[in-house]
Structure 1
Amino acid sequence: MKVCIEADGGSRGNPGIAGCGTVVYAADRREILREISYVVGTATNNVAEYQGLINGLRAAAELGADEVLVYMDSKLVVEQMSGRWKIKHPDMKKLAIEARDIASQFSRVSYEWVPRVKNSAADELANKAMDALAKGAKPGPLDTTPKKPAPEAVDSNNPARWNGASTEPTRLILLRHGQTPMSAARQYSGRSNPELSELGFWQAEAAAASLAERGGIDLVLASPLRRAQQTAETVAKRLGVEVETEERLIEMDFGEWDGLTFDEARALHPELHEKWVQNPTLTTPGGESLQKLHRRVKKLRESLQAEHPGKNILVVTHLTVIKSLLRQGLDGGPQLFRRIFLDLASISIVEFYDADNSSVRLVNDTSHLRR
């Protein structure tokens, strides 16, 4: 069996409060086999990273793995364990020897450096351990087993019990597209049509895995723009459904500001840009206003509610479109456009019942990007 290990460690101070996190998963299906949040104690960042690696190798051995691929964002540990860099620090020498002894049990072990963004699940577990140590926890593993909710808590989560709805809702699962080169550069990206970046495709895959676990999706709708189509196709392939293109899900038209950064647009039209940020009725030069977009999206939502009552619809679209749907779910004013933050590849959920009843169930969930 081949497994992958994602490991990380950290310390608040050098040395200081230290903890590490480790995720072990099956290489062929990304099924998580073990999660370890480990309180190290008072130590350096590098010592904590080595402990995270050791915990992963031990877990892989316990699981019966014969081949291991280790991902870490510590260039130091990756290079030292690969034999390319010397180990000078005595504490790390001891830990490296221990790691190599465990690794000798496997037929093959390889080490690969990854950027921090791709090691976020282990980083989160490490921070959980450091938080626990700060609150008085003793060195050793923390219990990361999820607690099951009480039976009565499940029923109380149904909004129909308190909003008076008499029908099943049309549930919109809102997925923002993954990263593009333009979003990475923080450029206005409306009707421009960039493809997903390498990270964007990875984000789409992570979202697809999470949505497949949730299940129950009846329909996948996507904006016609390439970045949304590529994200939707990635998810739909995992779900085994077809993508339907919906023109009204297209992003707001930023007109002459498309492709510019916030600062560049402000420098080009300083007075208009300042007013536009505050006033949703104003139109960008050659573009459209938030008010116009909101009206478009509201008509779409009403038609979806009429045509697909009680269905779960995955909507793969853009920042302002999702904000509009959340605004409708909250029955809020235009100020909500400026007060909701949404990450790339984030998931939000809003339900629309009979009459004017609605319920926002989730906003900006990115837990699938930290696995």
Structure 2
Amino acid sequence: MTAAAAGGARATRRVVVEADGGARGNPGPAGYGAVVRDADSGEVLAERSESIGVATNNVAEYRGLIAGLEAAEEVGAGSVDVRMDSKLVVEQMAGRWQIKHPGLRPLAAQAAGLVRRFGTVTYTWIPRERNRHADALANAAMDLAAGKAPATDRVARAHEVAAQGSTAGSSWEPRPASTATRLLLVRHGETEHTALRRYSGRGDVPLSERGRAQARATAARLAGLAPSVAAVVTSPLSRCTATARLLAEALGDPPVVTEGDLVECDFGEWEGRTFAEVRERWPREMDAWLASPEVAPPGGESFVQVGTRVSRAVAGLLATYPGETVVVVSHVSPLKIALRDALAAGDAFLHRLYLDPAGLSILDSWPDGGVAVRTVNDTAHLAAL
């Protein structure tokens, strides 16, 4: 190939950059991952992954974008389609959102400088389920930053997950249920706040009498569905732990395990208020919150932050209980996010799905990364209450 021909190939090569980043906490031990693929064949041309010490999720996401663009330049890309599950980075780099945080401006400027080296760059938001390769690399880097495992082990696992994700979910071929890890997702029973349509986040509101009756009805339903349960894993808040204990009693007393990552979203200043009160007092903040998972209630937690820990919790369950059945007792927000990710749905799903108190959803996951959502918000067992 002549030098001119080589230059022409560089100018016309189309690539996809998949990038992600995150932190164990926010801020916390952080890392990023980036993958460059040929746009036509899907072949992986380059990978990047690095632990970056203590940083925020957004900083790590921008670092992943920068690493992906640098790698795209190295493989001779002329046209780049950036795909990320960070709505904030995609919207800011596309020029639709302002960059208000001063700590992100230098990173955005660095990314913009790299963008000018290509003929065209586009930005596309994708659900986390479709960003598994970069997500796995980022998680490997985060684990390394937190000192959880040798780098070789974590990167090997990241490649294993990425390989699974490249083919899983694209086939209708039936998989045997016996090899799946089954998660029986249960929302806690009703509380006084539930009945009054009040925001219940980190406030420790106990089950009402009706909520306890709902939990017992759910326990009877699960006893018929799951003859063998490895564990009942629950949010630490009492409305969940009380539900979990009633379920465990009906299931032969499997261990009840508390998992902090399953706790409800922190609704900040909205805690304990009715939906109508929040709409009246914080109309602009509520509109922004409904429009973007990156936005948190005043003094609270965004759905992006909740999603980070829910993904971590689900991954931990799949690693700890392979091929077994686990009951997961949690709240509306974490359960919606788990179902959104399993269905590879968009963020609008979070505001369109309704989950009743003591409603049951069933999620199967296979070792090859395949996922099947079998039931969503089943409440037949509550009909007699």
The ranges of structure 1 where at least 4 consecutive aligned residues each deviate by more than 2 angstroms after the TM superposition are 159-167
1:213 matched to 2:221? The reply is no
SS state at 1:361 partner: strand
Deviation at 1:323, TM superposition (A): 0.6
Distance 2:181 2:344 in 1: 16
- Mapped contact 2:259–2:313 kept (Cα < 8 A): no
Alignment of 1:1-371 (within 5 A): 162-163=172-173, 168-214=179-225, 215-241=227-253, 242-371=255-384
- Mapped contact 2:180–2:367 kept (Cα < 8 A): yes
Distance 1:212 1:347 in 2: 13
- Mapped contact 2:184–2:327 kept (Cα < 8 A): yes
Deviation at 1:240, TM superposition (A): 2.2
Count of aligned residue pairs for this structure pair: 213
Distance 1:189 1:368 in 2: 24
Alignment deviations for residues 265-308 of structure 1 (CA, whole Å, 9 cap, x no partner): 12221111112112111011111001110111011111211221
Deviation at 1:163, TM superposition (A): 4.4
- Mapped contact 1:248–1:297 kept (Cα < 8 A): yes
Instruction: Give TM-score, length-normalised by structure 1.
Output: 0.55
Letter in 2 for 1:354: P
Deviation at 1:216, TM superposition (A): 2.4
Note the aligned Cα RMSD (angstroms): 1.9
Distance 2:173 2:237 in 1: 36
Deviation at 1:344, TM superposition (A): 0.7
- Mapped contact 1:212–1:238 kept (Cα < 8 A): yes
Distance 2:298 2:326 in 1: 34
Distance 1:186 1:353 in 2: 37
Distance 2:329 2:337 in 1: 14
Distance 1:308 1:217 in 2: 10
**What 5-or-longer segments of structure 1 have no aligned partner?**
1-158
Deviation at 1:327, TM superposition (A): 1.0
Distance 1:226 1:220 in 2: 14
- Mapped contact 1:163–1:357 kept (Cα < 8 A): no
Deviation at 1:164, TM superposition (A): 6.6
Distance 2:261 2:304 in 1: 14
Letter in 1 for 2:270: W
Percent identity (aligned): 41
Distance 1:333 1:355 in 2: 23
- Mapped contact 1:329–1:351 kept (Cα < 8 A): no
- Mapped contact 2:261–2:312 kept (Cα < 8 A): no
Alignment deviations for residues 296-326 of structure 1 (CA, whole Å, 9 cap, x no partner): 1011111211221111010011011111111
Deviation at 1:355, TM superposition (A): 3.8
- Pair 1:163–1:248, CA change in 2 (3 A): farther
- Pair 1:160–1:335, CA change in 2 (3 A): closer
Alignment deviations for residues 67-123 of structure 1 (CA, whole Å, 9 cap, x no partner): xxxxxxxxxxxxxxxxxxxxxxxxxxxxxxxxxxxxxxxxxxxxxxxxxxxxxxxxx
Deviation at 1:165, TM superposition (A): 5.3
Letter in 2 for 1:290: F
Letter in 1 for 2:305: K
- Mapped contact 1:165–1:354 kept (Cα < 8 A): no
Deviation at 1:176, TM superposition (A): 0.5
- Mapped contact 2:198–2:274 kept (Cα < 8 A): yes
Distance 1:345 1:322 in 2: 12
Letter in 1 for 2:370: N
Distance 2:251 2:170 in 1: 28
Deviation at 1:356, TM superposition (A): 3.2
